[in-house]
Amino acid sequence: MMTRSKIALSKITQPKVTLRKPGLPSLLALVLLTTSACTSETATGAPSNSPTSKAAKPARPNASAGPSASAKPGAPTSPGVSVPRLDPVGAVDARTVLAAFKSRNMVGHMEALQRVADANGGNRASGTSGYEESARYVEEQLRAAGYNPVRQSFSFRGEGRGRPRVESFNILAETGGDAGRTVVVGAHLDSVREGPGINDNASGVAAVLETAAWLKEAGISPANRVRFAFWGGEEDGLYGSQHYVDELSQAEVGQTAANLNVDMAASPNGVRSVHDGDGSDFGHAGPDGSGAMEEIFFRYFRENALPAETTPFDGGSDYDAFLSAGIPGGGLFTGDVERKTQAQAQAYGGTAGKDLDPCYHEACDTIANTNPELLTEMSGALAYATAAYAMAKTG
């Protein structure tokens, strides 16, 4: 996650933990349909989500009244493009998903990316051998799960004297389903040059890989195309995701229904946070449909009796280009340099007064700097929301 994320979480870490009380879990069984073969084209999209019902959300007794100074509205830069609306459905039972993810291989993926960093100068930054080897690992895992990954190349100016151009790429893989209603589920693959980037963001990569594999293994045949994306150049300036959105035609922007982003999902002293899509906590909503994304994540946490809270869209991760294009966004985050409050320690465990991730952007962001239990919960949330949007109907 880019450093800008530091600013925003300070607004959440006041006594603002939202203890969402569980309601009755959905009894819908896992939808078992025939899996469609994935294709290997370039991006197109889908409709957006219906607005979240305020009545469906539990009260936020400790919510701060004002907007975040650093959060920025996700106003479309192309107001002429209309993004159709998707109404996410309860395609799976939230408790079943969490139970399934307790035995999935997220930690194994993080360990593999740790080994990659160890063998490549201690990092996996874009433009390095560590990034290339990380990419090969991701592609291998996607192929083993039945996908056909492709690379989308781009370049950007690096740092330092003379600012050399860095060559990098995104990795894209997709399901079958209606390309006119595409759901992009992404995480950045690169680390900073200072360290291996295991919480930031091998954890997010692990969550997306296991979501992609689980979707196939569960036999879910998406009605809407799901495109899994592993972004390059995030730590250097969100270059990969911005390139992806810039390459979309106006028609393809209008066919991109939603972007689900996961950036840091295993912070060692972390919290469960969801982006404030409807703007009700921080005063800045994402594009129309983002509130429904927020609610689908909270539904998963409610039904699993897990407390969670909101975090603002602060522009510090790969959702930014999507929001700016008018595409609804949402996602998950477990925290970086902000200190855990007493209220958060009571809700989530961990240590009050200690950073949510004391190794953020440091060499010590290793496999030892992760919380596997939290990663399991957040990965299940991503899978639950992905299934909901994969099977969503036009609203």
Catalytic sites, residue numbers: 234
Are the C-beta atoms of 214 and 257 separated by less than 8 Å?
no
Sign of CA dihedral 1, 54, 284, 83: positive
**Burial of residue 288 (number of CB atoms within 10 Å: 0-12, 13-18, 19+):** buried
**How far is the C-alpha of 389 from the C-alpha of 370, rounded, in Å?**
28
- Residue at 381: amino acid letter: A
How far apart CA 338 and CA 331 sit, in angstroms, is 19
Concatenating the DSSP letter of every residue in 41-52 gives -------EEPPP
Return left, alpha or beta for 152; rule: phi > 0 is left, psi -120 to 50 is alpha, else beta.
beta
Residue pair 181/45 in contact (Cβ under 8 Å)? The answer is yes
How far from the centroid of its chain's Cα atoms is residue 43's Cα? 18
